[in-house]
Structure 1
């Protein structure tokens, strides 16, 4: 197993250490530099990380703004269903003159972008490993600019559906690579902030969309929905410029064996020589090489199929379910918030007012999550967040039995406001952090692709069910839909308790060891990790004359305060 009997210590597999030693010229130097860089990463304070990597923060934030576009547009369509001008143009009107988009078309339109995203995601996993993150995002931005013309000029629902599908293609790129880039250009201390900021960009996009929808809701002409569509052209150009000047992911460059380019990328991401020296850049590249070779020893391939082999199967499962939980905890009600509010009995203008407040609270929740992530950790925040959402859904469903009372309608709206705050404090942002950290570095883009596609498939199911739950000509559940999402949320809570590990303050190499040694999810936080073995151990094991499993060995190789452990115990550092 690789776990020391009676102790919570996971160590590098002996065969993996031997495989790494056989592929590098100076294994001891690699271990020494990788150990020092790992120690520096895991012990780096937040203040030090900000001073050292300001450019990494800047470029990660700029590239993540691409998700603002997606958050903006995905909210538009769901809330257009509650907009009178849009319903009159594309919907069916009854004898009383009340117009509504048929439920099948509501499902089809919202699923169109999901289908496009699934295709775009699969292509992203291949393109990003071949061309790099930066070039793939640049190409996607060009296509996004062109595809906006389709919904803007759409004369009917069919053309609108085509536009949704085509816009989904570049969204697949943004969903994956913004998270991957944030995870790979920042150190451990900054990782939770920059990965969860991707969720913040979603919320910013939704908040902007809510404000624009509220401003246009009283219009009765076609500009009521054309203006919101046209505003999408604001985003691509500034993001394209920022992406053009951004450095490529150093992890991707190491995987391509472009080591000098990786070092140059690291220097561009850092502040200056005083904060991040040339020697430290070399050591960081060595750490990346060690982690990359460790993962290659565990799984040689880098295809989608490899995501379902050996320990990567568990990592893929966790990434997929973590993202699915965003759907099945009740998240779809937020995307249809204005429509949900009107079905709960609120006037249209008040429904859009509540939507603005809803996503403003979501942004506050995301920013607040940054303080909890460093104090509480990923697993507790994700678990207790779901429990809170479960009780909110139960309460929302219960209030539906008195929905004729206007005060109860406002109470239902308030429940969704609180739901959004809790969601964006816990499940929403923490998901991005977990998915980025759970995957191995070699399979990160592909694992995130599979996880996001699991989310999209879950979203398609939700988009089929949710309009029928709310539509007056279908099931007409209204707020009683909360009971359904409470049921699915309960299943998510059970899975999280037994299967979700804690990843806080772990380097990617340490996480590789924990997964390779099959450490229980509930023991991830308490288990120490031995990532490094000396050259004598590794080469002796390669020749069959010794074993890293000999727990009674007592020698250690010590270089510059770093103990490269040969006893099978976790590596330690002297002050």
Structure 2
């Protein structure tokens, strides 16, 4: 580094510290001269840059780690992440079976209305749509609460509280005697489910090293599919053996009690996210948490844990010092973070705007082609198995391609499939219906190989550390809002007594897929192989999306740190130890006022 530049930076940093000392500590100002403060500033600067060197070493170690090395050093991190993500199996189970209860004879006679035209009991379409939306409405509320609660109390506490709440709320569903009561139960249960949608992603991204991040975050998509597959099996059994008994519709709700107890036990035993502990200034607890997720000899574990804590601390301190206020939802829409929030939200919205809502209607087209209901159900099970296979394919693709390429070409493939499906809609033949249903099964594989799982990784990498939970909450709620819109529109598009588009609906979603493709190319950066600190630096430098992959950054290099200090006159070099970073930010803001 240029010597004159370094000396000028020391002088600049020293003057900043002198100014802060004058404002904050009047007594010290009276007793000490500025000449006494300059050596203190130099000591603080040397310590700060020394920590930066250690953080740079930790960043390099993480980037150079191989997959096998990551599995050898972090098997416990993998295990704890899998425990947290298992909560999504429960959510996938519920969202899959509720919409399929309407076809169960005992559910129809218990809660339905008699149709003179069809001479049968039916659940009114208004209730079918409404009950399907209740879960998402509850999740929107739960997600917003989760952002606040998780930042305050941590991932483990919020998730355990949510599971205990689910145990109680499930009684409403099991003993429901009206559709209104089921609707209330679904909304209330959706609130704790919302916490799983956010915190499972956050925890997976924060406890594992870079090399394992894609696998553990996209495993969440696998959990969703497993839950849906279990729901399909339960409903098949109820349809065959309990079709005319009250237990037929109560049993699927009762089985939801089997999830919380083992999940509570596993989450209670799991270590808290070390990133959250560092944000709260609880360094010793953070070090213990890192130690618990490592599987190495004692000496090597101590060295690596110290390196990791130093990097986390430097990343959090840098964000805290560069930020203008404490973390809040409003901060997600300010400055550099506004870009990150936009990307995270639109990435998740793209899942719904590329035709995924039609995946659940493959059996609809098979039935139109003459397939009986039982066989159509078998195809729905095949659909979930295909989705699971697609998720495994995604893990293979990530060894050869980055996040952007997987997502972008996934959208392209989905657009092509939607356009072909839409073209088949111009024929009324049974062959065209078979073709439309088959195209949706193919779509299912491509979706779960690309866009479906990769989104979970992208939305965990894009946000800054201090706003990660809040940004994921906003992104997931953007997803939920589009789910509600598409779930309402799709039946109107398909039904013959409404808009009667049939398979031509594929043209509509193919058009939105094309728009999503254009957005992804312009706005979505490549995040593969980047640590959280590197991503912070790339966004801080306002690098265009298509140049993220080729731009070299060293976030903890001394020159980078000095430039950050020179660009921020309020930069405080004093170490932040054993205290809440957000409280520190509040006190600094009050003093500046």
Pick the TM interval, shorter chain. Answer: 0.7 to 0.9
Determine the C-alpha separation between the residues in 1 that align with 2:361 and 2:270.
35
1:96-123 deviation digits (Å, cap 9, x = unpaired): 3244433322221111111100100000
1:113-149 deviation digits (Å, cap 9, x = unpaired): 1110010000000000110001100001111122222
Moved more, 308-317 or 69-78: 69-78
Moved more, 467-476 or 322-331: 467-476
> Is the CA contact 1:184–1:251 (under 8 Å) kept in the aligned structure 2?
yes
Determine the C-alpha separation between the residues in 2 that align with 1:540 and 1:409.
61
1:356-408 deviation digits (Å, cap 9, x = unpaired): 00011101111221111131010011011111111211222222333441x44
> Is the CA contact 1:82–1:338 (under 8 Å) kept in the aligned structure 2?
no
> Is the CA contact 2:133–2:484 (under 8 Å) kept in the aligned structure 1?
yes
Give the equivalent residue in structure 1 for 2:372: 347
Structure number with higher helix proportion: 2
Q: 1:193 aligns with which of 209, 215, 228?
A: 215
> Is the CA contact 1:91–1:100 (under 8 Å) kept in the aligned structure 2?
yes
Give the equivalent residue in structure 2 for 1:379: 404
Give the equivalent residue in structure 1 for 2:591: none
Moved more, 207-216 or 65-74: 207-216
Q: CA deviation at 1:468?
A: 2.2
Moved more, 97-106 or 366-375: 97-106
Q: 1:81 aligns with which of 81, 102, 105?
A: 102
1:308-335 deviation digits (Å, cap 9, x = unpaired): 0111000000000000011111112234
C-alpha RMSD of matched pairs (Å): 2.6
**Aligned counterparts, 1:147-158, within 5 A:** 147-158=169-180
Shift in CA distance, 212/99, structure 1 to aligned 2, threshold 3 Å = same
Shift in CA distance, 297/146, structure 1 to aligned 2, threshold 3 Å = same
Confirm or deny that 1:271 pairs with 2:332.
Answer: no
Q: 1:328 aligns with which of 333, 338, 353?
A: 353
Give the equivalent residue in structure 1 for 2:462: 438
Using the size of structure 2 for normalisation, the TM-score is 0.84
Determine the C-alpha separation between the residues in 1 that align with 2:423 and 2:482.
25
Determine the C-alpha separation between the residues in 2 that align with 1:84 and 1:342.
19
Determine the C-alpha separation between the residues in 2 that align with 1:412 and 1:122.
38
Give the equivalent residue in structure 2 for 1:57: 78
Give the equivalent residue in structure 2 for 1:370: 395
Shift in CA distance, 543/295, structure 1 to aligned 2, threshold 3 Å = closer
Shift in CA distance, 132/341, structure 1 to aligned 2, threshold 3 Å = farther
Moved more, 520-529 or 396-405: 396-405
1:282-332 deviation digits (Å, cap 9, x = unpaired): 111110011112222332320000000111000000000000011111112
Secondary structure at 2:119 match in 1: coil
Secondary structure at 2:398 match in 1: helix
Secondary structure at 1:148 match in 2: helix
Q: CA deviation at 1:471?
A: 3.8
Q: 2:274 aligns with which of 246, 250, 258?
A: 250
Shift in CA distance, 473/247, structure 1 to aligned 2, threshold 3 Å = same
Give the equivalent residue in structure 2 for 1:560: none
Q: 1:96 aligns with which of 105, 110, 118?
A: 118
Give the equivalent residue in structure 2 for 1:569: none
Using the size of structure 1 for normalisation, the TM-score is 0.87
Higher relative contact order (CA 8 A, sep 6+): 1
Shift in CA distance, 240/275, structure 1 to aligned 2, threshold 3 Å = farther
> Is the CA contact 2:390–2:446 (under 8 Å) kept in the aligned structure 1?
yes
> Is the CA contact 2:322–2:568 (under 8 Å) kept in the aligned structure 1?
no
Determine the C-alpha separation between the residues in 1 that align with 2:72 and 2:257.
34
> Is the CA contact 2:351–2:451 (under 8 Å) kept in the aligned structure 1?
yes
> Is the CA contact 1:214–1:353 (under 8 Å) kept in the aligned structure 2?
no
Give the equivalent residue in structure 1 for 2:258: 234
Shift in CA distance, 437/540, structure 1 to aligned 2, threshold 3 Å = closer
Determine the C-alpha separation between the residues in 1 that align with 2:299 and 2:370.
58
Q: 1:183 aligns with which of 205, 210, 215?
A: 205
> Is the CA contact 1:307–1:316 (under 8 Å) kept in the aligned structure 2?
yes
Determine the C-alpha separation between the residues in 2 that align with 1:24 and 1:129.
30
> Is the CA contact 1:361–1:420 (under 8 Å) kept in the aligned structure 2?
yes
Moved more, 514-523 or 478-487: 478-487
> Is the CA contact 1:394–1:482 (under 8 Å) kept in the aligned structure 2?
yes
Determine the C-alpha separation between the residues in 2 that align with 1:25 and 1:129.
32
> Is the CA contact 2:362–2:438 (under 8 Å) kept in the aligned structure 1?
no
Unaligned runs of at least 5 residues, structure 1: 1-13, 546-575
Q: 1:402 aligns with which of 427, 443, 448?
A: 427
Secondary structure at 1:401 match in 2: coil
Q: CA deviation at 1:29?
A: 2.0
Give the equivalent residue in structure 1 for 2:573: none
Secondary structure at 1:277 match in 2: helix
| Count of residue pairs brought into register by the alignment | 530
Q: 1:114 aligns with which of 136, 145, 151?
A: 136
Q: 1:44 aligns with which of 65, 87, 97?
A: 65
Shift in CA distance, 275/174, structure 1 to aligned 2, threshold 3 Å = farther
1:402-425 deviation digits (Å, cap 9, x = unpaired): 3441x4433322222111111110
Q: 2:556 aligns with which of 532, 541, 549?
A: 532
> Is the CA contact 1:340–1:470 (under 8 Å) kept in the aligned structure 2?
no
Shift in CA distance, 95/309, structure 1 to aligned 2, threshold 3 Å = same
Q: CA deviation at 1:151?
A: 2.3
Q: 2:534 aligns with which of 493, 510, 514?
A: 510
Determine the C-alpha separation between the residues in 2 that align with 1:26 and 1:351.
67
Determine the C-alpha separation between the residues in 2 that align with 1:117 and 1:151.
16
Shift in CA distance, 216/513, structure 1 to aligned 2, threshold 3 Å = same
Shift in CA distance, 544/71, structure 1 to aligned 2, threshold 3 Å = closer
Unaligned runs of at least 5 residues, structure 2: 1-8, 18-40, 570-593
Determine the C-alpha separation between the residues in 2 that align with 1:185 and 1:102.
46
Determine the C-alpha separation between the residues in 1 that align with 2:401 and 2:568.
44
Q: CA deviation at 1:543?
A: 11
Confirm or deny that 1:427 pairs with 2:451.
Answer: yes
Secondary structure at 1:374 match in 2: coil
Secondary structure at 1:506 match in 2: coil
> Is the CA contact 1:78–1:335 (under 8 Å) kept in the aligned structure 2?
no
1:83-107 deviation digits (Å, cap 9, x = unpaired): 4443443334343324443332222
Shift in CA distance, 536/227, structure 1 to aligned 2, threshold 3 Å = closer
1:476-519 deviation digits (Å, cap 9, x = unpaired): 43333222221222211111111110000100000001011111
> Is the CA contact 2:344–2:471 (under 8 Å) kept in the aligned structure 1?
yes
